[in-house]
Chain A
Amino acid sequence: MKTETLSGDPLREDDEGTPSWWNGRWRRQVDWCTVWFCIMGGLLVGITVLALANIATTELADPAHLLKVAASSQVIESILLTFGAGASAVLLLILFGTPLAYVLARSRPSRFKGVVESIVDIPLILPHTVAGLLVYLLFMRRGWLGAPLSEIGLAFEDALPGTIIAMLFVASPFYVNTMREGFEKVPVHLENVARTLGAGTFTAFRTVTLPLSLRHMYSGALLAWGRAIGEFAGVIMIAYYPFIISTLIYYSFTTDGIHTSRSIAFTVILASLAVFYLLRRMTRYLGRYDDRV
């Protein structure tokens, strides 16, 4: 009986010049499709990473200046104002956008529904300056809504309500569309059963549909908030003042130059990263049952 003996260096190269480890387990396990997808996706992520690395390298080279800018009351107040205005816009979206998303999710396809869905998406397709102009024309002192509201003391031009309403306008499709997808995932049978067990329409919504859509609500709110705090052109059309962070960076860029505006931008990046990281981590505690629907 002939026996073969395995011997020699396992990392030796074979006849064609490739290492033996490559011809073995690794070669069998590599999925080239996934590898190429990773490379292509990596290029996209790489642009963001490079941009962040670029600004970080420059800013961290002069930490004294960065700290001075980051700790200035103007920057801190502006960041808080931006985050607060964004949160107010999101709260309004939750209040008014949730019922709209539910109706869109539950209504049967029709021409009217298609029109409403298109209207909801309008802020997505408009240039931001156009969105801002629309908000301005409606809410300016002589505007259709601005005029009567200013009579009861609610002014929008160069005022915080103007900032909030502009943010709400541009962020609304992100919340409404995400929430609608969440409601669509909840089978209508669950609501039907709740109704036959004695729940009214709103009680069925509150006790069954809404708890099963919480993760979508949270994701939609997060997306909308991110969109709102990043808005610039839409906001300055109606409310150049008070300075949200985008306006402050632009103002600083045009008056003080790149040095200070870059430091403000880097501060905002760090603050946004920290806040979004924390908020994203919270999603794991929400909507545990969404996937079981």
Chain B
Amino acid sequence: MIEFDRVSLALGSFSLNDVSLTISKGDYYFIVGPSGAGKTVLLEAIAGLHRPDSGRVLLRGTEITALPPEKRKVALVYQDYSLFPNMQVIDNVSYGLRMQGMGKKEARAEVAPLLERFGIAHLADRYPGTLSGGEQQRVALARAIAVKPDILLLDEPLSALDPVTQEKFIDDLRRLHREDGLTIVQVSHSRREAHLLATRMAVIIDGASWTRGRPVSC
């Protein structure tokens, strides 16, 4: 589905060196590695937020190296969820649809079932600053799903949650992957999360030294 062909990229103290990987449709692709290894930079490069210094990015065989993020049909959920503080929950979730040209009312109506599904319908009129970590994370996920992305990118989405909320979120992610058939790429420190969710995984160290394969239960 999306292929990195010997991609190199320098971004301040972070860099990717000659990285090649292939993410197929329906994969739950885990990228694990220590802090500062370049995991988030890689995720942002998949999203098109950084243009590689060298190498190519291909989507279904077509080169998209210079394609801007708004045209890639990928959605990104950061570790801190990055909800828009100036918008109510419902406007956060419907933001992507509005960017596709939908009217405000129509977009709000469109995402109503999604709010129900993620159990955040009662929070529709609230602002992100008044939500708990778990609530923010469900809003962020609903916002990303609302645009029906080809690939969902998750940047350590579980790290800021308590263990109980983590378990619930892992179930949500599993359902998104299995029932909705969504292609997901997740970066994480946690091998446990990888074993619970991943269909394929890779290890990144210092922006390179890749090991790829399928996760094996410990």
What is the bound-complex CA distance between A198 and B84, given in angstroms? 15
A186 — nearest CB in chain B belongs to which residue? B85
- Min C-beta distance of A195 to chain B, whole Å: 4
What 1/0 flags go to A262-293 for Cβ under 8 Å of B?
Answer: 00000000000000000000000000010011
Contact (A192, B129) CB under 8 Å given A197-B143, A211-B86, A289-B86: no
- Min C-beta distance of A106 to chain B, whole Å: 13
What is the bound-complex CA distance between A212 and B82, given in angstroms? 13
- Asked if residues B100 and A193 are in contact (CB atoms below 8 Å), the reply is no
What is the bound-complex CA distance between A246 and B47, given in angstroms? 55
A129 near B: Cβ within 8 Å? no
What 1/0 flags go to B12-37 for Cβ under 8 Å of A?
Answer: 10000000000000000000000000
A100 near B: Cβ within 8 Å? no
- Asked if residues A203 and B129 are in contact (CB atoms below 8 Å), the reply is no
A199 — nearest CB in chain B belongs to which residue? B99
- Asked if residues A196 and B85 are in contact (CB atoms below 8 Å), the reply is no
- Asked if residues A292 and B80 are in contact (CB atoms below 8 Å), the reply is no
- Asked if residues B84 and A292 are in contact (CB atoms below 8 Å), the reply is no
Pick the contact of B82 from A187, A289, A292 — CB < 8 Å?
A187
Interface bin, chain A: 20 to 34
B74 near A: Cβ within 8 Å? yes
Contact (A197, B99) CB under 8 Å given A192-B76, A289-B127: yes
B4 near A: Cβ within 8 Å? no
What is the bound-complex CA distance between A195 and B95, given in angstroms? 11
Residues of A contacting B49 in the complex (Cβ-Cβ under 8 angstroms): 192, 195-196
Most buried by A among B76, B82, B85: B85
Contact (A293, B85) CB under 8 Å given A192-B69, A198-B100, A203-B99: yes
What is the bound-complex CA distance between A200 and B70, given in angstroms? 6
- Min C-beta distance of B150 to chain A, whole Å: 11
A-B interface pairs (CB < 8 A), number: 76
What is the bound-complex CA distance between A287 and B74, given in angstroms? 31
Contact (A199, B70) CB under 8 Å given A289-B86, A292-B127, A293-B85: yes
- Min C-beta distance of A88 to chain B, whole Å: 29
B147 near A: Cβ within 8 Å? yes
- Asked if residues B84 and A190 are in contact (CB atoms below 8 Å), the reply is yes
What 1/0 flags go to B166-201 for Cβ under 8 Å of A?
Answer: 000000000000000000000000000000000000
A189 near B: Cβ within 8 Å? yes
What 1/0 flags go to B65-105 for Cβ under 8 Å of A?
Answer: 00011101011111010101110000000011001100000
- Asked if residues A198 and B99 are in contact (CB atoms below 8 Å), the reply is yes
- Min C-beta distance of A23 to chain B, whole Å: 45
**Number of B residues with CB within 8 Å of any CB on chain A:** 31
- Asked if residues A189 and B84 are in contact (CB atoms below 8 Å), the reply is no
- Asked if residues B47 and A189 are in contact (CB atoms below 8 Å), the reply is no
What is the bound-complex CA distance between A189 and B155, given in angstroms? 11
- Asked if residues B69 and A195 are in contact (CB atoms below 8 Å), the reply is yes
B70 — nearest CB in chain A belongs to which residue? A198
What is the bound-complex CA distance between A292 and B74, given in angstroms? 27
What is the bound-complex CA distance between A238 and B149, given in angstroms? 59
Residues of B contacting A192 in the complex (Cβ-Cβ under 8 angstroms): 44, 47, 49, 69, 76, 78, 82
A192 — nearest CB in chain B belongs to which residue? B49
B38 near A: Cβ within 8 Å? no
B157 near A: Cβ within 8 Å? no
What is the bound-complex CA distance between A196 and B49, given in angstroms? 8
- Min C-beta distance of B135 to chain A, whole Å: 15
- Min C-beta distance of B71 to chain A, whole Å: 8
What 1/0 flags go to B47-68 for Cβ under 8 Å of A?
Answer: 1110000000000000000001
Contact (A292, B76) CB under 8 Å given A193-B82, A194-B95: no
What is the bound-complex CA distance between A34 and B80, given in angstroms? 37
A39 near B: Cβ within 8 Å? no
B128 near A: Cβ within 8 Å? yes
What is the bound-complex CA distance between A194 and B144, given in angstroms? 10
- Asked if residues A196 and B47 are in contact (CB atoms below 8 Å), the reply is yes
A25 near B: Cβ within 8 Å? no
Query: Can you name 18 A-B residue pairings with CB atoms under 8 Å?
Result: A189-B80, A189-B82, A192-B44, A192-B47, A192-B49, A192-B76, A193-B76, A195-B69, A196-B72, A196-B153, A197-B99, A198-B96, A198-B100, A199-B70, A200-B70, A203-B99, A207-B84, A212-B86
What are the 9 closest A-B residue pairs judged by CB atoms, nearest first?
A198-B99, A197-B96, A292-B129, A292-B85, A195-B69, A289-B86, A189-B82, A289-B85, A196-B76
List 16 additional contacts besides A196-B69, A292-B128; criterion CB under 8 Å.
A192-B76, A192-B78, A192-B82, A194-B95, A196-B49, A196-B72, A196-B74, A196-B75, A196-B149, A198-B70, A198-B100, A198-B147, A199-B70, A200-B68, A203-B99, A207-B95
